[in-house]
Amino acid sequence: MTKSRHDIAISKLSVLLEHLSVQAKQTDELNRQHKSHRLIENNNLFSVHLFTTESDQLSAYVEEVKKRFNEFSRLHALSAENTNKAEFAKSSLQQIEQQIAALLNAIQANKAMHQAAQVSFDARKKVRVKSAQANQDRYKEMAKAVVLSSQQLYQQLSEHHEFERRLMDMVTEREQQRIHSKSANNTKLSQEVLALHQRLGRCRKAISVIERNIELAEKSSLR
């Protein structure tokens, strides 16, 4: 029995769909091996007006076309006896052809699409690396500032301790002079001793502040 033109077209579509299914699976497997696919894996590949399937896997869309094709084949077998079914089968065939064309284009464009995604992926990676490096540099600068601050504080502490020692020597010297001085000089030396004690008090207060600042700086560097 000779096949009709429609039967031949259906047979060709069936073979084409099988080839398309193999290509789609191979492409999906290839995509899974590329890190750049992460940038597009949550996006639907086609318009909702063309496919009801929502996926980043081409093989999922091929399965939808196969189901539609099987329904078309069934309607085509009955279309000779029913005009309405014939029209529906014709409309279904047009949509199948559009879907197959879209899938073929997607498979052909897949490499270029992932190359573009790879460029974007690499650019984002560079941004992350630069950001991490910038954070590391900032932490180093902060640590350096803390070290420098601590060094300056210890230098100030050393200077104030030296100043304290000299003031204490001066107090001792003036006290000795006051003890051995004549009564005419006694009042002046007492005032000098008092002034030295006041300066010594301020010096020791400054030492306490510096020691507290050193303690805070060292605690901050350990966080």
Condensed to tens digits (0 to 9), the pLDDT of residues 82-101 reads 666 667 777 788 888 889 99
Question: 102 Cβ partners below 8 Å, 6+ apart?
Answer: 46, 50
pLDDT at 111: 76
Region for 34 from its dihedrals, namely left if φ exceeds 0, alpha if ψ lies in -120 to 50, beta otherwise: beta
For residues 71 and 61, give the distance between their C-alpha atoms in angstroms, rounded to a whole number: 16
Segment of 3-7, 129-133, 191-195 carrying the highest mean pLDDT: 191-195
Give 3's pLDDT tier (boundaries 50, 70, 90).
low
- Domain range summary for the chain, segments of one domain joined by +: 5-134, 146-221
Token pair for 124: 């984002």
pLDDT at 10: 79
Q: Closest by alpha carbon to 79, among 87, 91, 71?
A: 87
- The mean of the pLDDT values for the chain is 78
pTM for the whole structure: 0.49
For residues 9 and 99, give the distance between their C-alpha atoms in angstroms, rounded to a whole number: 16
Task: Give Cα 49 to chain centroid, integer Å.
Answer: 35
Alpha-carbon torsion (173, 179, 181, 185), positive or negative: positive
